[in-house]
A and B are shown apart, each in its own frame.
Chain A
């Protein structure tokens, strides 16, 4: 057998570190969290993903102790944490604005939490130095927060929140203020640090790429509810709803009516006068049930000649988005539906043969598409 895969959520005997049980949070008449149940396991890197206002930040603030649940129960390591103030929780948070103390040096910022624990001075020194080393900030220890760059500030904030070795680290949009390149580098750093320290991380983000990159599991939220919790691969390849499919990455959605054809196979009537599309689904559909077919653009092939494939449709190139490594083709079908297809740019641009207004064939296999009920 190969390595042990880290997947405590598949093990029914595993005890979750955090357990939300039917938690509801109301602000006045506004329901921020709606009857939510969720388990997060030790050493997980768990991402809460959703648009702004979906309740992900509220969920995190309840874990930190800044908000209390209106109903339901939140457990941390088997203990109900309702009413325990933030300073009495073995939970630390890295704030979106970093919230570094401007009047304290980098060193004092990191030592701040340790001093509150009345730790011995030598111990504090050792721990702060360890944190500085972990975040590669040794040479900036004496600087004030306004004397270092945004990326360094982000690392100070991380070091400060990790210094007390919390059971759980909360990260609120930790990379939001960084530019794209730095953000990507930092994502890998975060994963490294999470692995090294073995701390459970819960990250809140609205950036699906970030969530996919760093997380062991992703929870997609909307309107205070969790729509789907799964590994990044499962979320991307097997979304459970149109909302998730649409929220994560780029997707083509084709509406139609399903008819069973063979084991797990369905044929989908999607446009008058067009041959039905074939797709597979583990989830059962009744005959003539309305459904959406979700196909990722990179799973759609584009060619001049009709290919041999499970599904092939003809259309006209409307637009080409050149992204350097790949190009996205927007192809309009006779029904007016626009399908996106992605192709890797393995040849130089002058050698490429598909251009605007060309008539092309789009094709994909029956297993490439996901059938989603309404």
Chain B
């Protein structure tokens, strides 16, 4: 009995917080927009019965998504931004994780704290503060002009560059922590063995350290890629009018256009796109757990 309760808890959680909302969104995506409250039809009523209700549902919103190039361009652009910013996060995060794992034992809790510390401040505030850094008269431009590196201020804010900065900054801890965990477990004598067998320091890194931290790299990359793909806050605050991301399109469809059915269809397609990396991520985690046994 107790076992059933224990098993039921995560399933109920999934049912209430994922499946039910998904079914609602999916239903809306099959509906038609209407000047009503809520702004779509059909609404289920007991008088007409279930068949009359179901007959009204169709896939025309999905067909609409294929006719307007805005949508697939936004999906592709999101994919591109997510892939590229994941790569940038890896480039920045790996050396940090490596440095942490190589730091003296007594420093590590402090370094770990420093990585997690930004989470204690609201995400929104932290993204807003980047506006103060990246804008035309922001701190970055002030410093660069004061040191004489540039003479006219750079336009960074409201470009894709600002979006990359924002995503790398925000998701960096998600990259660092799994890589650090993988590197921390690494037996130092493996590196010594590699050197003993004729590797230079650099070869030992590429042939031993990096392959053995691969699972951390994969986990970290997915943890950055998945939320970055649907990211909405960062492109809308730091990005410009040319920054095309599906999260932003979804937001505009929903709140500016008040076209809930099309917005829902965009959301469902986004979810379907995300299923692939999520499944890959899960498989990686599973394989890692098996390898450790």
Contacts and interface: CB of A to CB of B under 8 A. Distances in A.
Interface stretch (B21-29, B125-133, B193-201): B193-201
B198 A164 contact: yes
Given A97-B187, A97-B189, A103-B211, A146 B291 contact: yes
B contacts with A: majority SS: helix
A160 B197 contact: yes
A99 B199 contact: no
Contact of B208 (A66, A101, A113, A117): A101
A96 B187 CA distance: 12
Interface residues of B, number: 19
A95 B195 CA distance: 12
B188 to A, nearest CB: 9
Interface string B247-289: 0000000000000000000000000000000000000000000
Interface in B51-108: none
Contacts of B195: 65, 85-87
Given A116-B203, A146-B291, A99 B198 contact: no
A95 B192 contact: yes
A86 B211 contact: no
Nearest to B212: A103
Contacts of B16: none
B189 A99 contact: yes
B190 interface: yes
Question: In which size bucket is the chain A interface?
Answer: 20 to 34
Contacts of A64: 192, 196
B189 to A, nearest CB: 4
B196 A87 contact: yes
A72 interface: no
A45 B272 CA distance: 65
Contacts of A160: 197
Contacts of A53: none
Given A101-B208, A103-B212, A146-B291, A92 B199 contact: no
A54 B190 CA distance: 24
Contact of A99 (B187, B200, B207, B214): B187
B293 to A, nearest CB: 9
A92 B196 contact: yes
A275 interface: no
A150 to B, nearest CB: 16
21 contacts: A65-B195, A65-B196, A66-B192, A86-B192, A87-B195, A92-B196, A93-B192, A93-B193, A95-B189, A96-B189, A99-B187, A99-B189, A99-B190, A101-B190, A101-B208, A102-B212, A103-B214, A112-B197, A116-B203, A146-B291, A164-B198
Closest 6 CB pairs of A and B: A116-B198, A113-B197, A99-B193, A99-B189, A86-B195, A87-B198
Given A92-B196, A93-B196, 15 more contacts: A65-B195, A86-B192, A87-B196, A87-B197, A87-B199, A91-B196, A93-B192, A95-B192, A99-B192, A101-B190, A101-B193, A113-B197, A116-B197, A116-B198, A164-B198
Interface of A: 64-66, 85-87, 91-93, 95-97, 99, 101-103, 112-113, 116-117, 146, 160-161, 164
